[in-house]
Structure 1
């Protein structure tokens, strides 16, 4: 194996390792159980790999909460306020870990009940 090939292999391994370290969990999907605008949190009942768990997600000012509404032949993203969310809605949340907490980056409303 030549020097250039070794460098490329090491670079690829580094990129794969770094992307694994920086990548967070898959989005958390489930049913909203509790909406607490005063605490800026949502509690979700999520089921994954046959296990159900309750996850509290912090909503920060930089977090986006969106629903998709039909406009003509397509869909448009519409912002939603935390206070407008309701228990029973089905959502998908992309989070990041921050000081042992789940912090929402994007909350997507999938189904409003």
Structure 2
């Protein structure tokens, strides 16, 4: 099964939440199953309210998916990819890490050596 992955990253106020809402609405209209992995450096998720009840939400708090909580990130991606058979995986995160590292972690959690 082919899974589309969208990585949403940007500065505060750059439109990540708006884009996430639009992505979720579009996928719902297409009848696709969606999972969202949301990373916050702090202990509180700011944008989890933007995720509709139709999507599965995993919140990774108090760390960076590229270093301090990378194992959790890989487990959650694998869970959504293999166990839940989602058509789309959206990942929203703060800008304290490199998006290239998020791509690397996402592809490794799917067992790939190249991001497709």
TM-score range, shorter chain: under 0.3
Q: Which has the higher contact order (CA 8 A, sep 6+)?
A: 2
Task: With the length of structure 2 as denominator, give the TM-score of the two structures.
Answer: 0.25
Normalized per residue, the structure richer in strand is: 1
Normalized per residue, the structure richer in helix is: 2
Task: With the length of structure 1 as denominator, give the TM-score of the two structures.
Answer: 0.26
